[in-house]
Amino acid sequence: MKLFYSPFHTFIHKVLVTAHEAGLWDDITFVPTYPFKNREGEDQGDAYSIAALNPLDKVPTLALDDGQVVYGSQAIVECLDSMSRSGQQLYPAPGPKRWDAITRLALADTMFETTVMLVMEGWHPEEEQRMDFFRWIWPKIIRGCDSLEAACKRGFDGFDIGQASMLHAISYMDFRVNFYDAKDPLYPDFDCFDGRPNLRAWWEESIQRQSVTCHYNRDFEGDDSAQFLQQNVQEVLAAQAGQS
């Protein structure tokens, strides 16, 4: 399998967490993809385009060995979890525990997506940034953090896909500030753990998982060139042609 993904390891990727938890880590070729900027903050234009595989030209995108392409992080984590060889699955069986897990997955994923929207708004010159937009986004993030605090207070019956997404969303908030040097106009010193002791305790325990430590705050080591990416795109297209 090939996973086209953004190799910024200063935030936690739920797709990488799921791959490791499923025992599939060694079966995956990791293909660094820079949709916007590389790790040095340099714009990459279309050099890393994967539009030939994914019409949305977005990461993450997973290519299976037969050339089938799965895109969208929620689709990818469910696909990987269904192939688990570790004896553990992050999606509980149908019932209340599953609905709780996938609801937290949806909540945390949307918190991540709204934080990305803040990042992109911050790319505009300060005088062109829309304050109404920040005022619209922030209540969603704050209510989301409060909901995650309540979930952590109730506790969990094992590690699940909702928690993988929670790790992703929370870590990306710090990534936004540190990588993009973003000083938010409304909440410049926002800390999602302030006043949320259960969320903090859960975080401190969860980041010790091997599926997190295998990549979190560890630099990607390998070829991250555009040439390597396009070579892998062509290999997927060749696999698809062989199946037709």
- Tens digit of pLDDT for each residue in 84-111? 999 999 999 999 999 999 999 999 999 9
What's the CA gap between 94 and 86, in Å, rounded?
20
Looking at the structure, do residues 153 and 193 belong to the same domain, yes or no? yes
* Same domain membership, residue 233 and residue 149: no
pLDDT bucket at 44, cuts 50 / 70 / 90: confident
Q: Are residues 73 and 149 in the same domain?
A: no
Q: Does one domain contain both 155 and 169?
A: yes
> Are 222 and 182 contained in the same domain?
no
| Pair of tokens at residue 57 | 């030209």
Same domain, 47 and 145: no
Containing structural domain, residue 136: 96-213
* Predicted local confidence at residue 66, as pLDDT: 96
108 neighbors 161 (Cβ within 8 angstroms): no
105 plus 198 within the same structural domain: yes
209 and 221, same domain (yes or no): no
208 in the same domain as 118: yes
Examine the pLDDT at 37 and tell me if it is beyond 80: no
- Asked whether the predicted pLDDT for residue 12 surpasses 90, the reply is yes
Give the predicted TM-score (pTM) of the model: 0.94
Tell me the per-residue pLDDT of 133-154, one tens digit each, with 9 for 90 and over: 999 999 999 999 999 999 999 9
- In this structure, the answer to whether residues 111 and 150 fall within a common structural domain is yes
What CATH number has the domain bearing residue 122? 1.20.1050.10
Interval 107-124: pLDDT, tens: 999 999 999 999 999 888
CATH of the domain at 239: 3.40.30.10
Nearest to 115 by CA among 191, 198, 175, 32: 175
Pair 210, 19: CB distance under 8 Å: no
Quote the number of domains for the chain.
2
Residue 124 and residue 58 in one domain = no
Residues 111 and 148 in one domain: yes
Instruction: Spell out the SS3 assignment of the chain.
Output: CEEEECCCCCCCCHHHHHHHHCCCHHHCEEEECCCCECCCCCECCCCCCCCCCCCCCCCCEEECCCCCEEECHHHHHHHHHHCCCCCCCCCCCCCHHHHHHHHHHHHHHHHHHHHHHHHHHHCCCHHHCCHHHHHHHHHHHHHHHHHHHHHHHHCCCCCCHHHHHHHHHHHHHHHHHHHCCCCCCCCCCCCCCCCCHHHHHHHHHHCCCHHHHCCCCCCCCCCCCHHHHHHHHHHHHHHHHHHC
Phi, psi angle pair for 62, to nearest 5°: -110, 130
R_g of the chain computed on alpha carbons: 18
